[in-house]
Amino acid sequence: MPSDVDTWYARPVFFVTDCEEALRFYTGLGFAEDWRHEEEGTLVAVQVTRSGAELILNRNQLRAGGGRLFPSLHRGQAAKCVEQFLAAGAEVRDDHWGMPVKPVSDPDGNDLLLTDDDLTQS
């Protein structure tokens, strides 16, 4: 974590109905589990990381879905991620969110919106 006091360190939280299911989904996309929190033997929060992007998955059925993470990737990385995500069985769509994006949604409807210079210049 940076030591500059004016630098914020932020991690988005995606609310999910089932942390175990969400964890399987994200690890299938190449994320790694960093830590977990269980209550009475049930997973209620878990952090996953991929290429420096940290994401907390938190069980909350009332708030599940609707989250978005918009990673801006280096040239060519969106296509590589799309290939990996499709191989993992995820559905990847074509969309536009101020620029061309490749969205992938988790089982609860939280979205990863992938983009890079190859997408925005095509």
Cα dihedral angle (22, 33, 67, 108), rounded to 10 degrees?
0
Share of the chain above pLDDT 70, in %: 94
Token code pair at residue 17: 């109905």
CATH of domain 13-120: 3.10.180.10
Q: Using one digit for the tens of pLDDT, what is the confidence trace for 19-39? A: 999 999 999 999 999 999 999
For residue 6, what pLDDT is reported? Answer: 78
Q: Where are the domains of the chain?
A: 13-120
In 3D space, the residue among 7, 60, 8, 11 whose CA is nearest the CA of residue 34 turns out to be 11
For residue 5, what pLDDT is reported? Answer: 77
Confirm whether pTM is higher than 0.75: yes
Q: Using one digit for the tens of pLDDT, what is the confidence trace for 68-105? A: 999 888 999 999 999 999 999 999 999 998 888 999 99
For residue 22, what pLDDT is reported? Answer: 97
In 3D space, the residue among 46, 53, 79 whose CA is nearest the CA of residue 68 turns out to be 53
